[in-house]
Structure 1
């Protein structure tokens, strides 16, 4: 009769052990995924804290900021056309203005 009483106890301990191992594996995987995700987000300047999520601004040196801004403005100016605008100082169409200047004199 002693073996019959001990067999369910042994099966219960084996079952609890298996559940503990599976739980530990799941816990390890979840922690690893969380760590990898946190590292990737930190590379993009996003930090997770207990209070929530913080987005940090990357520092751009003043000279680099000015260079980018000037580049955008120059590109806009170079790709803009003024079809109805005729300047007295220069010809935006690229044709020679010398003939018109000779007529005025």
Structure 2
């Protein structure tokens, strides 16, 4: 009996042949589901960013980004600059020193 031919094993069942394929499809379906939801999230975020940046006069184009510049009148610009210079002058303390010297 030890030298006899081994009995042929039973052929694999259909379930054991199809199970790895089903597991592979399930994993691929899960990955596709996650990738689809990531795509939806990125599209939604991109739309919101484009809308908010559009409100601030920043537009994304194929060539890059275009920024709209707010028009400022020359007189307004000079007034704002002069007000900062006057504030800096007043905070430097030069007026106090000059007033004290005049009193003497």
TM-score by length of 1: 0.58
Structure 2 residue 46 is the aligned partner of structure 1 residue 21: no
Count of residue pairs the alignment pairs up: 74
Structure 2 gap segments, 5+ residues each: 1-12, 96-104
Q: Give the direction of change, closer, same or farther, for the CA distance of 1:17–1:52 in structure 2 (3 Å limit).
A: same
Rg (Cα) greater in structure: 2
Structure 2 residue 79 is the aligned partner of structure 1 residue 72: yes
Structure 2 residue 14 is the aligned partner of structure 1 residue 2: yes
- Cα shift at 1:72: 2.5
Partner of residue 39, structure 1 = 51
Structure 2 counterparts to residues 81-96 of structure 1, below 5 A: none
Structure 1 gap segments, 5+ residues each: 84-105
Following TM superposition, the consecutive aligned residue runs of length 4 or more in structure 1 with deviations greater than 6 angstroms are none
Looking at secondary structure, tell me which structure has more helix per residue. 2
- The two structures, once aligned, show a CA RMSD in angstroms of 2.7
Q: Aligned partners of 1:70, 1:31: CA distance in 2, in Å?
A: 40
Partner SS for 1:54 = strand
